[in-house]
């Protein structure tokens, strides 16, 4: 069991039949009345973010979240197959479970599979991934007065804005948190 005084960013706990991860929290002690804790929580099952206020001292059941590093092998139909590099155990996930992360996943890429008991909650990706540009429009010459960008398509199907100097076949680094261009890969 944990109490609101044990809260810290990233902590996972059970509340109201769901599993939540703390994004941010603030202990508040008003002049009158009892103390309370304002929190911003992410539901690990639905990925939704909610704001909840708890009374100071409330207790919760700690949720043990496991992260297993696995390699993405291949996909067929709407199933994606991952393999544990140490035990060679293979795991099949349906597209709906990992739909938000699909534009950043390539074959043989290592990812962390997040689970709670036997329930698979999703994937944790690296902060940045290197992708290849397969389609982009040509930039207009001399159009450099500001941070001019153009639309591009990567080998994983991600559409994003890139600087004008990026061409088809170039390798770029993309932030998995924002889905935006970060830099050209070396």
Residue ranges and CATH numbers for the domains of the chain are: 2-62 (2.30.30.30), 66-124 (2.40.50.140), 128-184 (2.40.50.140)
pLDDT in tens, 69-119: 999 999 888 899 999 988 999 999 888 888 888 899 988 899 998 888 888
Cα angle 115, 119, 125 (rounded to 5 degrees) comes to 35
Cα 149 to Cα 159: distance, rounded to the nearest angstrom: 13
Query: Cα separation of 77 and 69, whole Å?
Result: 24
For β-strands 12-15 and 66-76, DSSP reports them as unpaired
pLDDT value of position 140:
57
185 burial level (CB within 10 Å; 0-12, 13-18, 19+): middle
* Strand pairing class (128-136; 171-175): antiparallel
Helix (H, G, I), strand (E, B) or coil at 88: coil
Cα–Cα distance, 165 to 67 (Å, whole number)? 38
Question: Quick one: pLDDT at residue 110?
Answer: 92
How many whole angstroms separate alpha carbon 144 and alpha carbon 48?
Answer: 39
- pLDDT (tens digit, 9 = 90+) per residue, 16-56? 889 999 999 999 888 888 889 999 999 988 888 999 999 98
Asked if 123 contacts 113 with a C-beta cutoff of 8 angstroms, the reply is: yes
């Amino acid at each position: 069991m944990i109490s609101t005084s044990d809260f810290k960013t990233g902590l996972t706990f059970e509340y109201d039949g769901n599993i939540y991860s703390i994004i941010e929290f603030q202990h508040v002690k008003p002049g009158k009345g009892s103390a309370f804790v304002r929190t911003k929580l992410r539901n690990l099952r639905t990925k939704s973010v909610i704001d909840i206020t708890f009374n100071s001292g409330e207790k919760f059941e700690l949720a043990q979240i496991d992260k297993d590093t696995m390699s993405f092998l291949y996909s067929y139909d709407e199933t994606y197959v991952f393999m544990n590099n140490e035990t060679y155990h293979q795991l099949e996930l349906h597209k709906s479970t990992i739909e938000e992360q699909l534009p950043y996943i390539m074959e043989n890429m290592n990812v962390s599979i997040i689970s709670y008991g036997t329930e698979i909650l999703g994937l944790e990706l690296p902060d940045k991934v290197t992708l290849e540009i397969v389609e982009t429009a040509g930039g207009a010459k001399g159009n450099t007065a500001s941070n001019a960008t153009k639309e591009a398509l990567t080998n994983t199907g991600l559409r994003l804005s890139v600087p004008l100097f990026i061409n088809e076949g170039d390798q770029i680094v993309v932030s998995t948190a924002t889905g935006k261009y970060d830099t050209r890969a070396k």
